[in-house]
């Protein structure tokens, strides 16, 4: 039981971090970023290349995250902001297009073989209360928690408050002197870095390939939906819940039903609280 819960918290942390990234981007650009997992993979592949170039793992990860953040900013400047006046609908499709292009580009650059992104703690275990726990599980869960706290704190800093202001009322924010383009770039940078962290943690404990993000996308979006697309804390908790439920389902009912869990959660949200379970949830705007 404990083992299933720990495994669940680990995979839940991947969902959580991606969901947090979705929420951050949503705040600034008001678009659900369907490219979140593949944009995160850019950071993971960069980290892999830095490790291959014999850089220490920690340095490689930091460089990978910075690269991902830069990539996020570039996408925002080059693509997202140019569409700013065309409404949400093209933005959403644009993220699908980005995701599609990225998957192909990653395949072309890094190939189709599964790669290993090894951390110093990879394949190391610790015995805790009679259970065998992987170090990568512990690191993943701890990192997820730290990031969730950090992002929550960030939204209370000046930059974060600006971002929230943009999320709640774009034109009013502009009137009081918030520079929307800067806020947007900041959100895409931070959001992509958080997504990259999720993908680094995920691929470090499994394998790195250009399809690694596919299986994470639906649970991550369900978690973000549960949080009404607004609350990072809500998204974080929802991600963990989905991860744990999936693993308990896999352990006690059937592994074939694992992927249904996220779908059941969505149905429940839709029936019970269409606006998400977070108190601060805003009514979503029309597309």
Contact pattern for other proteins over residues 77 through 106, marking x by CB under 8 A: --x--xx--xxxxx-xxx-xxxxxxxxxx-
Residue linked to tokens 């549960």:
226
Min CB(29)–other proteins separation in Å: 12
For 227, list phi and psi in degrees, rounded to 5: -90, 15
Query: Binding segment for other proteins among 46-54, 57-65, 138-146, 279-287 (CB under 8 A)?
Result: 279-287
* Using rule CB under 8 A, residue 114 touches other proteins: yes
Q: Which of 182, 267, 280, 282 binds other proteins (CB under 8 A)?
A: 267
DSSP string, 79-136: IIGGGGGG-HHHHHHHHHHHHHHHHHHHHHHH-SS-B----TTTT-EEEETTEEEEHH
- Chosen residue from 142, 174, 214, 280 binding other proteins by CB under 8 A: 214
Q: Please, what is the minimum distance in Å from the beta carbon of residue 286 to other proteins?
A: 6
Contact call for residue 241 and other proteins (CB under 8 A): no
CB atoms within 10 A of CB 169: 12
How many other C-beta atoms lie within 10 A of the C-beta of residue 85?
7
Residue 157, CA distances (Å) to 145, 160, 195, 227 in order: 19, 5, 21, 21
Site string for other proteins, 10-49 (x = CB under 8 A): xx--------------------x-----------------
Rule CB under 8 A: is residue 128 a binding residue for other proteins?
Answer: no
**How many separate helices (H) and strands (E) can be counted in the chain?**
11, 2
Contact residue for other proteins among 60, 115, 148, 195 (CB under 8 A): 115
User: By C-beta, is 39 or 98 nearer to other proteins?
Assistant: 98
Is residue 112 a contact residue for other proteins (CB under 8 A)?
A: yes
Residue 113 interacting with other proteins (CB under 8 A): yes
Count of alpha carbons within 13 Å of 218, Cβ hemisphere only? 12
Q: Is 140 a residue that touches other proteins (CB under 8 A)? A: no
Judged by CB under 8 A, does residue 168 bind other proteins?
no
């Amino acid at each position: 039981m404990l083992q299933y819960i720990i495994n669940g918290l680990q995979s839940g942390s991947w969902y959580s971090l991606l969901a947090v990234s979705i929420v951050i981007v949503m705040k600034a650009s008001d678009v659900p970023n369907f490219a979140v997992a593949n944009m995160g993979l850019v950071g993971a592949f960069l980290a892999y290349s830095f490790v291959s170039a014999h850089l220490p793992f920690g340095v490689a990860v930091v460089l990978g995250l910075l690269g991902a953040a830069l990539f996020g900013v570039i996408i925002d400047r080059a693509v997202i902001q140019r569409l700013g006046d065309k409404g949400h609908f093209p933005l959403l499709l644009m993220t699908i297009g980005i995701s599609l292009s990225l998957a192909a580009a990653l395949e072309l650059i890094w190939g189709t073989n599964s790669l290993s992104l090894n951390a110093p703690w990879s394949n190391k275990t610790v015995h805790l209360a009679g259970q065998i726990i992987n170090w990568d599980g512990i690191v993943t869960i701890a990192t997820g928690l730290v990031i969730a706290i950090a992002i929550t704190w960030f939204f209370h800093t000046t930059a974060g408050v600006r971002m929230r202001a943009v999320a709640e009322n774009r034109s009013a924010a502009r009137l009081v002197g918030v520079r929307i383009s800067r806020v947007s770039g900041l959100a895409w940078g931070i959001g992509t870095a958080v997504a990259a962290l999720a993908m680094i943690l995920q691929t470090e404990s499994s394998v790195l390939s250009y399809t690694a993000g596919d299986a994470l996308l639906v649970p991550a979006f369900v978690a973000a939906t549960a949080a009404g697309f607004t609350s990072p804390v809500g998204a974080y908790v929802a991600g963990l819940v989905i991860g744990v439920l999936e693993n308990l389902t896999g352990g006690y009912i059937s592994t074939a039903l694992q992927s249904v869990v996220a779908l059941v959660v969505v149905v429940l949200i839709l029936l019970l609280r269409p606006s998400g379970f977070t108190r601060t949830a805003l009514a979503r705007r029309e597309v």
